[in-house]
Amino acid sequence: MKARDWLGVLPFVGMLGGVPFVNQVEPYVLGMPFVLFWIVLWVVLTSVIMAIVNRLDPRTREEEHHG
Amino acid sequence: MNSALIIIFAVLLLAIYSGIRAQKGKEMTMEQWTVGGRGFGSIFIFLLVAGEIYTTFTFLGGSGWAYSKGAPSYYVLSYIALAYVISYWLLPPIWRYAKQHRLVSQSDFFVSKYNSPILGILVAAVGVIAIIPYLILQFKGLGIIVSEASYGSISPAAAVWIGVIGVTIYVMISGIHGSAWTAAIKDILIFFVVVFMGLYLPFHYYGGIKPMFEAVEAANPGFLTFPDEGLSVSWYISTVLVTVFGFYMWPHTFGSVFSAKNENVFRKNTVMLPLYTIMLLFVFFVGFTAILQVPGLKGADGDLSLLRLSLKTFDPWIVGVIGAAGLLTALVPGSMLLMTAATLLAKNVYKVMAPAASEARVAKVAKLLVPVLSLISLYFTLSGGDTLVTLLLMGYSLVTQLFPALLFSLHRQPWVNKYGAFAGITAGVLTVAYVTISKVTIASVFPNWPAVIQDLNIGVIALLVNIIVMFGVTFVTRTLLTTGRHPANAEGTPTI
């Protein structure tokens, strides 16, 4: 597995593995109970991570040149 | 008839009318219809994939679960985002293979990979059986919308009939994709309705998101976190995994993969699609706001919470717009599900059994199957009392059973053979069926096991049974077949 493939594991670790440790209401962040905020945060981070994966992947850059 | 119902029926008629218009002057073959000539770019695939996910379930089921269960509803947000992550690696090889072999349906993929039309029939059957609860869910949602928006003047049962007749007519007239126009209106309308309600309602009743959550927590301590038992963290993790694996196994979703122009479409979409799921957050806000404002909705009635709160808060015409958005979220995916199920049965079951049937005859059979499938789903809609989430999870447990056979076929040298794939899928589906009908849980079989294991989604167990049987049967048949090559033993080999 290449580095970018391992990046794809991160959202699973954060969104699933992290929840047992943050299953609490306090502190509220952006008005949301902490565990909900945690999941929402990881949804956003998932987008960021996938943007990086796309950057690292030569196959997706190839296409930009061809339009 | 009040103004809410007038708006809802006007939108229904408009959708049917645009379906008729879209149909005119376009003679398309089944292939072009289903995969759009493999010419769709990122934006169109984005809309197709994003739009398919947002059904009545999102609208009524998501808020309904937030209302009645609280924190466990968060699982919906997680599984959709994670399914997109998987798609980066899963979809390109599927797309490449499908293009190379000019495949048009999910069932075709298994037929081609395992070189077994019988396996294709099994896959089609599993897909159709899984689609039924998903369809029931759409019909139930339609019934809820029409009957609630009528302010009680139309009974839920009559409303379901009206909804089902509407969808069936829509599908029979407009075919698989309906009109792109209806789908686009649906996505735009639902987006604005959901964001508006998700912000307006908590601010209107509580003065903000945080005060709303604080009031809920004060009234029901522990409601905003996962409980220690039952729908616990262990349930959450296992349920998300089962649904992530099942996500692309739905026949209609799998089929939409084939319509992409190139494989990078999927990779690029993984950046934006997770962000789009944030929309669900606003649906949850509505459900949580409803808890203290329209209390007392028990069991499956929790699915009514979004509309009950709307009735209490807004003028009839706004209820009409909300109802119309809800109607489209049932109509567009509902028609897609119906047509996919009918096409699968006609192409991958009927055609295999009657190879002499012409293309026109297969298309006719598909069309005739639409009202049949509608009526079957209607029967279950009127007889069952499950919540929308229960129905969705049942369908997911079934389609997820196709995942191992798909995954192990992606390697150039498949890890399992057709006998293994057939036996594994069958064993997994039977496990799901047994568990659903007998209502056994891990807790009832092993009462002394720790809650972490007892709370696991039963789909995980079915997947394990599936994989074990798959490799077991593959191993045994490979050994038998190798011995079977000996001329004296040749007749003894099983044929599937």
pLDDT tens sequence across B132-180: 888 888 888 888 888 888 887 888 888 888 888 888 887 777 665 555 6
- Could you say which DSSP state residue B40 is in? B
pLDDT tens digit sequence for B217-239: 999 888 899 988 888 888 899 99
pLDDT over threshold 50, residue B487: no
C-alpha span between B362 and B16 (Å, rounded)? 24
The least confident of B61-65, B264-268, B310-314, B412-416 is B412-416
In this prediction, residue B24 has a pLDDT band, given cuts at 50, 70 and 90, of: low
Please check whether residue B158 touches A, CB under 8 A. Answer: no
Instruction: State chain A's mean pLDDT as an integer.
Output: 85
Report the sign of the C-alpha dihedral through residues B23, B27, B33, B37, in that order: negative
Residue B413: how many other CB atoms lie within 10 Å:
4
Residue whose C-alpha is closest to residue B59's, from B3, B168, B137: B137
Do A54 and B74 count as a contact with CB atoms less than 8 A apart?
no
pTM: 0.86
Interface of A with B in 8-67 (CB under 8 A): 8, 11-12, 15-16, 19-20, 23-25, 28, 30-33, 35-36, 39-40, 42-44, 46-47, 49-51, 53-54, 57, 59-60, 63
A57 neighbourhood in chain B, CB within 8 Å = 267
- For residues B380 and A49, the model is more confident at A49
With beta carbons less than 8 A apart as the criterion, state whether B79 and B236 touch: no
For range B116-123, the mean pLDDT: 90
Contact across the interface for B81 and A54, Cβ inside 8 Å: no
Q: Phi and psi of B178, rounded to 5°?
A: 60, -145
Interchain proximity A15–B284, CB inside 8 Å: no
The average pLDDT across B300-327 equals 87
In this prediction, residue B322 carries a pLDDT of 87
Cβ of B274 and A40 within 8 Å? Answer: no
pLDDT in tens, B368-409: 888 888 888 888 777 766 666 677 777 888 899 999 999 888
Residue B27 has pLDDT above 70, yes or no: no
Question: Considering only A35-44, B63-72, B266-275, which range has the smallest mean pLDDT?
Answer: B266-275
Residues 6+ apart with CB under 8 A from B370: B168, B171, B172, B338, B339, B342
**Correct CATH for B3-400 of 3.30.365.10, 3.40.50.10800, 1.20.1730.10, 3.50.50.60:** 1.20.1730.10
How high does pLDDT run on average in chain B? 82
Measured in angstroms, the CA of B181 and the nearest CA of chain A are apart by 27
DSSP B179: -
Nearest chain A residue (CA) to B270:
A50
For residue B492, is pLDDT > 50? no
The residue-averaged pLDDT of B254-276 equals 83
Least Cα separation, residue A43 to chain B (angstroms): 6
For residues B70 and B312, the answer to whether their CB atoms sit within 8 Å is no
Domain segments of chain A as ranges: 32-58
ipTM for the predicted complex comes to: 0.91
Distance (Å, rounded) from C-alpha A57 to C-alpha B130?
36
Distance between CA atoms of residues B5 and B1, nearest Å = 6
Q: Which of B305, B294, B293 is nearest to B63 (CA)?
A: B305
Find which of B42, B73, B76, B78 to mutate to test the A interface (most A CBs within 10 Å of its CB): B78
Q: Which of A19, A42, A53 lies nearest to residue B88, judging by beta carbons?
A: A53
Banded model confidence at residue B51, pLDDT cuts 50, 70, 90: low
Reading the block at residue B412, the tokens are 């150039």
A66 vs B337: CA distance, rounded Å: 36
